Amino acid sequence: MAIALEAFCIVVRISGLEPLGGLEGFQALAINGTFCHDEDLARYSFMDRSDAVGFIGDLQLRGLHASDDPSTDLVLVDAFDGNAQPLCDWFQMAEYKKSRIGWLTGSEPETISAPQGWNPEAESRIYRMSNEEAAKRLKFLRRENNVEVFLDTETGEELFVGRTGLPLDQMFEEARDFVFDNLRQPGEPVSCDDVQPEFRRVIEMLQIFTERRPQVWAGFWLLGKAWHAIGDSQRGYELLQRAHELEKTNTAITKELAGICLELGHSKEAVVYAEAAVAEVPDDSDLIGNLALAYLFDGRLTEAINTAAAAVRASPDDPVNQAVHKTVNEVRLGRRPQPKRLVDLG
């Protein structure tokens, strides 16, 4: 048996759906009305690629194995041009009349499962444009529930694009406000269980945003801080590095990178980022104190004590920098072991 493929399809192996509660759990997600399945595969389809990518992120958050190698339990199929990513040996695809179908390798595609109304003989009414072409031709008119309406300025026709989420800018603003309201500073406890589900929804929105706006550093910064808030410091570190690649001189990025490096025990990198932050804002006592900690974790005690003293001079009443100065001095005098990570500070 085979399944019909339309637009951008997420195709999953039913055998890999245990984290979701099997096929019933996958169907119960009811992300849209495009669900269909045969004995081996199931799928949802999307008119916009970023919605498909966002759905993959949601499936990963729910525990589904989705990777960029053949071991993945799902593939993203572009039914417009017949591409499937990643390439894997369990999925086969072919043209069927005026459409495309897919099936599990080793099975026989003698019958086809499809959503109601699918007609393989009909010409597709879904027209695909490149991002560049869409930017030139399409003018946004309005949003009707989960449908975005555009004017094709060349033909004068209205085009309707079904979406599964909020408009991009609205998603970013909502995610930004939530992350800032629930920031976790490096070394602090992981965000409480009450906000974890909302963080996962925000992460999904930010994954969609960074997919569609890959040159906006703030998207990666927020996504990194969101993963950090729910306890995945390594992923947060990687995303903040991406933000830093896009915006080298922003202290909001270098400060957070230095802190996460201290949390992970990457002391030499912490020094690099903390020095960069101080170079940008040399009078900021918080940044100076962070640099003192980076020197301490890296075993550079002379630089650590001098920098900690400078932080206290810059802000004599700051209890945090006073504590940093005390800790550095105790390590220098041999009264406590040299910390390697923020957790070692107790």
pLDDT at res. 125: 45
Residue 189: how many other CB atoms lie within 10 Å: 7
Beta bridge partners of 43: 11, 36
What integer pLDDT is reported at residue 171 of this predicted model?
A: 80
What is the pLDDT averaged over residues 194-219? 86
Give the pLDDT score at 159.
64
The pLDDT mean for the chain works out to 86
pTM: 0.56
Q: Are residues 158 and 271 located together in one domain of the fold?
A: no
Q: The CATH number of the domain where 269 resides is what?
A: 1.25.40.10
- Measured between alpha carbons, how far is 225 from 231 in angstroms, rounded to an integer? 10
Contacts of 300 (CB under 8 A, 6+ apart): 271
Residue 166 clears pLDDT 70, i.e. is over it: no
Which neighbouring-strand residues pair with 99?
96
Residue type, 252: A
Spatial strand order of the sheet with 83-85 comes to: 36-37, 41-46, 8-13, 74-78, 83-85
Q: What is the pLDDT of residue 76?
A: 94
Looking at the fold, whether 157 and 172 belong to one and the same domain comes out as no
One-letter amino acid of 176 = R
Across the chain, which distance is largest between two alpha carbons, in Å?
82
pLDDT at 48: 78
Residue 303 has pLDDT above 70, yes or no: yes
Confidence of residue 163 (pLDDT cuts 50, 70, 90): low
Whether 61 has a pLDDT exceeding 50, the answer reads yes
Q: Is residue 36 part of a domain?
A: yes
Q: Is residue 323 part of a domain?
A: yes
**Distances in Å between the alpha carbon of 140 and those of 49, 137, 151, 159, 312?**
18, 10, 6, 9, 54
Residue 138: give the domain boundaries.
131-162
